Structure formats: C-alpha cells, structure tokens
Amino acid sequence: MLKKIAENKMIILLFITFIVIYLIAWNRGLKLLYVISELSLATLILSLIAPYLNLLGIKASIKYPKYTEQAKGLPITIELLTSGFFDKYLLEIWLKTPFSTNRYNMFFVTTLHKKILIKSDIFCDVRGVHQVGPIHIQTGFPLGLKVFKKTFEATKGEIVVFPTPLKVKNFPMSIDESSVLLGDKRSKKRGGHDEFVSVREYKHGDSPRYIHWAISAKKGKLIVKEYQELLSSNLIIILDLNRSYNVGKLKDTTLEYAITIASSLAIYGLDKGFSVSLFGYGKKEIKLLNLKGLSNKTKILKALATAKSDGDNSYIDTIEYFLALQRGGGTLVLFDNGSTKVEKNIDSYISRIKKPVLFDIDAKSFKKSAVDTEFRVEYYQKYIKYSLKKGCDIERMLS
C-alpha cells in the first residue's frame, strides 16, 4: 500500500512539474522550457507504458516434486519464455510457498532473451498439504515510477510436505507369542520365526514336510513335528488430535513433537517387519490398519502430513474406540501433555496390549521461550514412560 502511494505521488509530482514548466514556457515564450516540459511529459508517459509493455509476451511455468519432506530443500525449476521482439528487463519473479516460514520467494532476472530457466531449492519447514504459487512477475522498468504485475494462474499447484522421520536405533517392541500353527498354515509374515514345540500323530491335511521320519519308523505310524510361531508384533500408534492438546507455535508445538515421534516409530516398525497401525480422531479421521513393509511408508507419512488438532473427542475415548478394532497384543504408543490422564487409565489397556509406551510431552514448556534438550525414561513393571519438554533432542531419545 505504501509503495503504491509513493508511486502515485511521484507520478502526480511529475505531471505537476510538466504543467508548471509548460505554463512558464507558454507565458514567456522560452523554447528551452518547451523542450523541458516535453521531456517531462515523455518521461511520465514512458513510466506508465513501458512496464506494461515489458510484461507483454511473457509465459511462465514451474516444475517440482509432488511430495517432499519437512526440513529438506524442495528443488524447483521455473521456466520463462518471451515471444516478443524485444528482450525483457529487470523482472521480479515471486513465488508463494506456504510450507516455509519465508512464505514468498523472489528471483530477479536482469534480462530475459527468449528463454531462461531458474533452478533453486526452497526450504520446507511446515508439514501439510500446501498450495504452491501462482507465480507473478512484476517490473517497474525503466524508471521504477510505476510497477506492473502479471499473474500466471496456470502455475498454481499442490504439494504434500511429509514430516521427516528420525533415525530410531532401538525401541522396545513386544512380541506376541500366542499362536501355535502347523505345516503350510504357518504365517509368512516378515519378522516372525518358528520354534519346535513337540510331536504328535499325523492328521489329514498336515504337510508331509513336517513328518518326523525317525520317530514314525520307530512307532510304526506317521508322526509330525509341531511348531509354535512367534508372530510379528503389532505397533499401534494413537495420536491425540483434540484441539486442546496442541500447545505452542509453528514447529514447536506438542502436536509437531508427537507427529515426529509417530512418524519415526512407524517407519522403524515397517523396516523391522512389524505390523503398524496408526490412529487419530480429528475432523478428519486417521485410520491405517496393520500395514506391513516399507512400501507403506508414503501412506503413513501422507496421513501424518495432514493431521490437525481440530477434534472434539477426548483422547481417552479415542483410545478406547481404536483399541476395540485391534486383535492380539503388541506395543501401544500413547501421548499426553502433562495432564496425567492417560497414565491414570493405562492399567485398562495392559490387559489388551502387552506393552504401552507413553510419551508425556510437557505442554507448559511450550508456552515459554526456554528450551530443554534433556528427557527422562522411566521403566515401570507394566509400561514405559518418556517425559520430554520443548527443545528435546528426540532423535537422541529414540536412539
């Protein structure tokens, strides 16, 4: 607004100068003043028309990946073309990038001759689904008295910024050893293995591969080996998406810390062959059940990229709702914000889940400017509790 006012003042001043000089020249008949007045008028017209002409014939396009990760650079390529006879000068190219705290990026082109490529990495520090662009180009060439802008709506697009999973070196995961299976009915889940238990008499349908020939010959009848399968564990992560849970600003909020922990543990679980489930109950429900293998990494990160603290359901009700959908045991990852509500109810989850792990993220610390990189891990008989504050070194905590 101030820039436009300044521009208008300069134009008005230039116009008044022309009128004054012209009147003096007309009154006194001085040819030199006529020349000066004509020059001031020409300057005024040039400042109004030239920037507009400088933008004619320009075309713009942009290329970038559909997905990227938080805290990483996004490679973009902007292509500018001009079909006009004249070159274009002193162009400002502006690109809106809401996934960064620096929401606008400006690139300056001194001369555009037919075609130019602008390549750059734009830093991404805000997860989520964001609209990129559109590009707009502005110029005040040659005098800067008037600035014209041209917007290229076709350059508007969408990008998903994933949370960046941290490297987890070791995390306590429980194993469900509840199932005894035989022969070809054994699970082929990655991460499981079989343990010999006993022998028994052959039954119709048993695989010949499991016949114990030495004992069968001794007893004069077919005997098969019986195995117990150690099944891959379930990793169940339940996020608190109640609007009251999220405290803090920008990247330093309780939810962003929970998202970082959840993404890190989920990818760790997939990599180790565990079955990973992810839940959250905001306005948009997150419900990913029993995912296995790193091929599901994008699905999990995309779900976490869109997670928002905009729900009204209590976290305790959310836990009860999603645990009712789960079968078998495993590791249950829960979150709290210093309220102790989850910890008071944790006994009710132990009968259904072998090992609850609670991440207690102190909400009060996110209201202060001070940071604390330390954390505390407490190993109780029935569960594990991690306590952390704003500034915690989460990667070190999970190593």
Domain end marker among 15, 33, 54: 54
Residue 108, domain CATH: 2.60.40.10
Least confident of 61-75, 130-144, 190-204, 258-272: 190-204
Q: What DSSP state is assigned to residue 168? A: P
Residues 80 and 113 in one domain: yes
Whole-number Cα distances in Å, 281 to 169, 276, 332: 29, 17, 16
**Going by C-beta distance under 8 Å and a sequence separation of 6 or more, which residues neighbour residue 344?**
none
Q: pLDDT-based confidence at 49, cuts 50/70/90? A: confident
Same domain, 113 and 255: no
- pLDDT tens sequence across 125-159: 889 999 999 999 999 888 777 888 999 999 999 99
CA–CA distance, 78 with 122 (Å, rounded to integer)? 12
> 289 and 364: one domain?
yes
Shared domain check, 298 and 375: yes
Domain shared by 344 and 281, yes or no: yes
* Boundary residue ending a domain (162, 188, 207): 162
Phi, psi for 89 (deg, rounded to 5):
-130, 150
More confident residue, 48 or 20: 48
Query: Torsions phi, psi of 236, nearest 5?
Result: -115, 120
Q: What is the pTM of this model?
A: 0.72
Residues 331 and 195 in one domain: no
Look at residue 129 and tell me if it is in a domain: yes
Query: Do 47 and 107 belong together in one domain?
Result: no
Kindly report the CATH number assigned to the domain that includes residue 304: 3.40.50.410
Per residue in 197-252, pLDDT (tens digit) is 567 888 776 778 778 888 888 888 888 876 544 444 789 999 999 999 999 998 89
Decide if pLDDT at 268 tops 90: yes
pLDDT tens digits, 294-336: 999 999 999 999 999 999 999 999 999 888 877 667 899 999 9
In a domain, 71, yes or no: yes
250, HSE (Cβ side, Cα atoms, 13 Å): 9
Residue 169 belongs to a domain: no
Same domain, 102 and 226: no
238 and 366 assigned to the same domain: yes
Does 198 lie in the same domain as 50? Answer: no
15 domain-assigned: yes
Please give the C-alpha separations between residue 250 and each of 35, 100, 239, 247, in angstroms, as whole numbers: 59, 10, 18, 10
pLDDT of res. 213 = 86
**Could you say which of 231, 247, 262 is where a domain stops?**
231
**pLDDT score recorded for residue 192:** 41
Q: Scanning the structure block, which residue is given the tokens 């330093």?
A: 252
- Domain extent for 115: 58-162
Tokens of 219: 């007893």
Q: With beta carbons less than 8 A apart as the criterion, state whether 150 and 141 touch.
A: no
Both 251 and 205 in one domain: the answer is no
Strand 384-388 to strand 355-361: parallel, antiparallel, or no bridges (unpaired)? Answer: parallel
Report the C-alpha gap between 195 and 355 in whole angstroms: 23
Residue 172 lies in a domain: no
Say if residue 354 is exposed, middle or buried (CB neighbours under 10 Å; 0-12, 13-18, 19+): buried
In a domain, 147, yes or no: yes
Tell me, yes or no, whether 119 lies in a domain: yes
Looking at the chain, the whole-number percentage of residues with pLDDT higher than 70 is: 80
Give the model's pLDDT for residue 183. Answer: 39
Residue 107 placed within a domain: yes
Q: Using CA atoms in the order 93, 97, 102, 107, what is the torsion angle rounded to 10 degrees? A: -20
201 within 8 A of 222, measured Cβ to Cβ:
yes
pLDDT tens-digit readout, 91-122: 999 998 888 777 889 999 999 999 999 999 98
**Residue 103: what pLDDT?**
81
The answer to whether residues 261 and 386 belong to one domain is yes
Indicate the number of domains in the chain: 4
